[in-house]
């Protein structure tokens, strides 16, 4: 399916099942801090900060924690100075991967990310080698259980969304990045107030299918190890794995 990667749903299920809320909060706090430092602490005038706060609220982050991160970024509280770096490369079967990081030690992060790529069947490429294969979008994900697709579609489009995708037991509401917060707020008012996630993301224009079990397992391990690195904020990929292989791996 163009614009959809299997990893998006695997990640959402994994996040809902395991006990990694502390790590999720850490990544969100870093994003809010950097967004506030770069664009100012006014949420209404800083689209990136607004998107970060929207993502944090979707994960039920306490308001006090969000406010402290904003103040830290604005210089009102002491904090660490993070550097943004994007890495691009390829995984098994030539799947395209983007890794966005925030780090206080870029040399460490470069070495760590390169090591993970090399260990799990991938290789890092040059800047821009795969980014053109993705579109920057806002994405609000809902568990499909108990939700009527047509009703959600109507509410989402009325709220200003671009599209809604039915994918593996979830609905993905797609927006322009700058419309993410407004669409989420409108959907919440319409009764859709419990998204699995709401975030700015990079959606693949097309997917690369991995049809053999071994490279598929290696691809998932590569993604998991990248996601688990403390300096990594987001990992995007364009691979797809057929359901019959996923069932064997799960």
- Encode pLDDT of 218-234 as tens digits: 999 999 999 999 999 99
User: Between 46 and 22, where is the model more confident?
Assistant: 46
| pLDDT of 129 above 60 | yes
Model pLDDT, residue 190: 95
CA–CA distance, 214 with 235 (Å, rounded to integer)? 21
The CATH architecture of the domain made up of 83-132+206-249 is 2-Layer Sandwich (3.30)
Model pLDDT, residue 20: 61
User: Between 109 and 13, where is the model more confident?
Assistant: 109
Model pLDDT, residue 70: 95
* Lookup: tokens for 58: 């979707």
Predicted model pTM: 0.85
Q: 217 Cβ partners below 8 Å, 6+ apart?
A: 249
Q: Return the domain boundaries, the chain.
A: 83-132+206-249
């Amino acid at each position: 399916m163009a614009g959809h990667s299997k990893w998006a749903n695997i990640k959402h299920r994994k996040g809902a099942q395991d006990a990694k809320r502390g790590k999720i909060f850490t990544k969100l706090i870093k994003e809010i801090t950097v967004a506030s430092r770069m664009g100012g602490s006014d949420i209404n005038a800083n689209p990136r900060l607004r998107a970060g706060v929207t993502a944090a609220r979707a994960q039920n982050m306490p308001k006090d924690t969000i406010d402290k991160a904003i103040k830290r970024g604005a210089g009102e509280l002491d904090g660490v100075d993070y550097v943004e770096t994007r890495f691009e490369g390829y995984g098994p079967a030539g799947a395209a991967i983007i890794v966005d990081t925030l780090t206080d030690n870029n040399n460490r992060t470069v070495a760590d990310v390169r090591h993970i790529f090399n260990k799990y069947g991938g290789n890092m490429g040059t800047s821009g080698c795969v980014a053109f294969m993705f579109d920057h979008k806002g994405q609000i994900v809902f568990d499909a259980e108990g939700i009527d697709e047509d009703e959600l579609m109507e509410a989402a489009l009325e709220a200003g969304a671009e599209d809604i995708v039915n994918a593996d037991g979830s609905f993905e509401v797609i927006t322009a990045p700058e419309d993410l917060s407004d669409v989420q707020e409108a959907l919440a008012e319409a009764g859709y107030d419990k998204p699995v996630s709401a975030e700015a993301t990079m959606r693949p224009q097309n997917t690369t299918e991995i049809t053999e079990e071994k490279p598929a397992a290696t691809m998932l391990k590569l993604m998991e190890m990248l996601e688990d690195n403390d300096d990594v904020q987001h990992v995007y990929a364009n691979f797809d794995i057929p359901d019959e292989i996923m069932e064997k791996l799960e």
